[in-house]
Copies of this chain bind each other. A is one copy, B any other.
Amino acid sequence: MSVQPQLINGEWRLAAADAATFSPSNPNTGKQHDVVYPVASAAEIGEMLDAGNVAAAQLRALAPSKLADFLNAYANGIDDATEELAGLAHSETGLPVEPRLTKVEIPRTTGQLRQAAAAAVSEEWTQPVIDSANNLRSRLESLGQPVLVIGPNNFPFAYNGVAGGDFASAIATGHPVIAKAHPAHPGTTRRLAEIALAALASSQLPPATVQMFYHCDPEDGELMVADPRLGAVGFTGSETTGRKIKAAGDAVGKPVYLEMSSVNPVIFLPGAMAEKAVELAAEFSGSCLLGAGQFCTNPGLILTIAGKATETFISAATETFSAAPSGVMLVSSLPSELNESVAKLTAAGAELLARGKSAAEPGFLAQPALLRVSGERFLTDPDGFQSEMFGPASLVVVAADEDELTVIATELNASLTASFYSATDGSDDAAHDRLSPIVTQKAGRILNDKMPTGVAVSPAMMHGGPFPAGGHPGFTAVGFPASLRRFGSLKCYDNVRPERLPASLRDPNPTGRMWRIIDGNWTQDNVGAD
């Protein structure tokens, strides 16, 4: 069995004969794949950093439309290989080919690449500002070095290090990407990297614009993050790993953008419950059970106030969770980790309301779980009861009254999202207005009458939040052009000669329609117009 090559400086390079290796598994069958992948050595990582810096200097000299050509060609290449890619990803992640992979995630991924291409060309993310009286001109621009992108296990395309949102944002801002595949789906990532390499060739970008490795020793990874040859890091994954990567970057003042764990509290106020408890239970159960609950925006914490309607809601949800089939999970450890999380919460005093059906089939199967705890008990250990249960599981907290719910709200940890359901007749408005200022501080995205799963790729999205849900409260990992700004370095050109200025900072508007702030006003004019 030969060891698969890594993509280093434009070449598919075989690892040294003594390289450590690993093989991923098929979550559908529970069996290991018959393919072997190498763990990158420190020397290989060093080569990628060197090549990435050479490519960064080359990209600096190119027009942004060249970056867009690549991103579009890459999106087309992925479209053409959709069936093959979906098959590969299904065999490595267990995610259903249809609709999930072919109808949802791959189109989202190519859509992101194309939106990033458009954002690169518009240069809106650079936010050019011109002060003509002082002849000062500023804009965001590339950091001038490669960006390391580390993707999670749960989105083999849309967040993949070599194809997802962070990848697209880094490329669109002129950065070569060094992608670390998630070791649970290296074959999918390898195939994507092949398509990327072909797209680089057809769009005449430096081949080292995209490099890829599968795995590394965690210590080598931390050294890579701290290496002066690396400009920034985009990471999506577990809090444990994310915190280590952040610490390595922080020590040298390097921007590290993180998207980590989140329990996504959903608050059902009493009036909403009274209006349609059964319907809300169906909405919640559907969101929580979707994709075996393997979303960072999975509703893992439900906050309610005791009452008859709340009991109706809980009964209906309990019924749905009890009848729910086991779900295929991404990696072998997840089903037992979910069981441990459930056991921890019941040991702490939560009641197990429902466990979904177990199954005799092979594979990494997890039974859905619904738990319940009183507000009083929750408040004895708010952090413990907010531990993320990754998978199709959620904890319903039943507060005695609005006062107790308000105390619970103040104890909420950071999340990506927080949702409010309230009555249509205004009867919940006072409670909402009391809770909202508290809850709004805790999450990046605030929803009304809506479940948090489903992250639209929109310029108005915030996918991030206070630490440790996100890494910096001011930036989003999803949505163009907003996600591009993370990788921007603000530069001021002070009295710089016109011919040396970037085109977007010269007097003439380079496209005739670029939005710039000139002397305090947003305009598409040239400097000196009117």
Contact = CB atoms under 8 A, between A and B. Distances in A.
Interface string A445-462: 111111000001011111
Interface stretch (A25-33, A34-42, A77-85, A491-499): A491-499
Given A252-B467, A495-B450, A462 B138 contact: yes
Interface stretch (A193-201, A285-293, A380-388, A434-442): A434-442
Interface in A116-139: 129-131, 134, 136-138
Nearest to A524: B522
Contacts of A488: 473-474
A499 to B, nearest CB: 9
Given A473-B255, A476-B490, A461 B138 contact: yes
A60 B440 CA distance: 11
Interface in A492-521: 492-497, 500, 515, 517, 520
A143 B473 contact: yes
Contacts of A486: 474
A438 B93 CA distance: 43
Contact of A137 (B441, B450, B460, B496): B460
A417 B475 CA distance: 26
Nearest to A129: B460
B456 A493 contact: no
B250 A500 contact: no
Given A473-B143, A474-B140, A492 B459 contact: no
A489 interface: yes
B482 A448 contact: no
B493 A446 contact: yes
Given A460-B131, A474-B485, A475-B490, A495 B447 contact: yes
Q: Which of A446, A473, A485 neighbours the largest number of chain B CB atoms within 10 Å of its CB? A: A473
Interface residues of A, number: 68
Given A134-B456, A494-B446, A494-B450, A489 B515 contact: no
B432 A500 contact: yes
A471 interface: yes
A407 to B, nearest CB: 16
A255 to B, nearest CB: 7
A449 B449 CA distance: 59
A316 interface: no
A486 B472 CA distance: 10
A182 interface: no
Contacts of A467: 252-254
A491 B462 contact: yes
A247 interface: yes
Given A474-B140, A474-B488, A489-B473, A494 B60 contact: no
Given A253-B467, A444-B492, A515-B522, 6 more contacts: A246-B253, A247-B250, A254-B467, A446-B493, A464-B490, A473-B489
